[in-house]
Amino acid sequence: MRAREYAPNFVMIISALLVMSCLLPGMIPLTREAETPLPTMEKNADTVIDVLKGQDWQPLQGLAQEQYTEDDFAGPGTLTYTVNITDDKPTYFNYGWCAVDEDTLRQNFEHIRVKLYVNDNELGNDVVHNLTFTSPDNLLCLDFGVLILEWPAGEYKLEAVSTFNEQINDGLADYDAGDYIFVYNVTVGK
């Protein structure tokens, strides 16, 4: 007797499953959209230095439409840039930090972690090169940079994320703990 009570429900469930199995193949995409390939990045640090010593490259931030003030950079948060690339010049994507002297710079980097990303892929030490230099205003700087040699046409999201795990001082000013994030929305149309 009980089997007859459940039979109509069972038939309805099986019918619904059959209808769904016929509809689902058209509703669920079986292929993913093609992703923009990653740009070609220089792996040899000596080559990066040689290129940066010359004039035939461009800083990514220098290509941005937006211009921010020192106050904008002074605290944690996100700054977003829009960049259009239309030529074949190498592009330097970086995050740098400067301090009044070597000891202060070393002490600062005990509390700073830097990560660079392209399209949500964290870039490794094979393409991220640490360079030190003295700025025009005589500060000692450490730069984490990637030299991008070739961009396939498309859209890219580049991010530089610098995490300060406590307040630091570069010898000139205090900087609060937190994430300092720089997002570059890059369109390449060559």
pLDDT of residue 37: 86
Q: Name the pTM for this structure.
A: 0.80
Please work out, in degrees rounded to the nearest 5, the angle formed at the alpha carbon of residue 102 by the alpha carbons of 99 and 106: 85
Query: How many helices (H) and strands (E) are present in the chain, helices listed first?
Result: 4, 12
- What is the mean predicted confidence (pLDDT) over 44-48? 96
CA distances in angstroms from 125 to 15, 105, 150, 156, listed in the order given? 56, 20, 19, 20
Tell which residue, 57, 40, 61, has the closest CA to residue 49: 57
Confidence category of residue 34, pLDDT binned at 50, 70, 90:
low
- On the question of pLDDT at 156 being above 80, the answer is yes
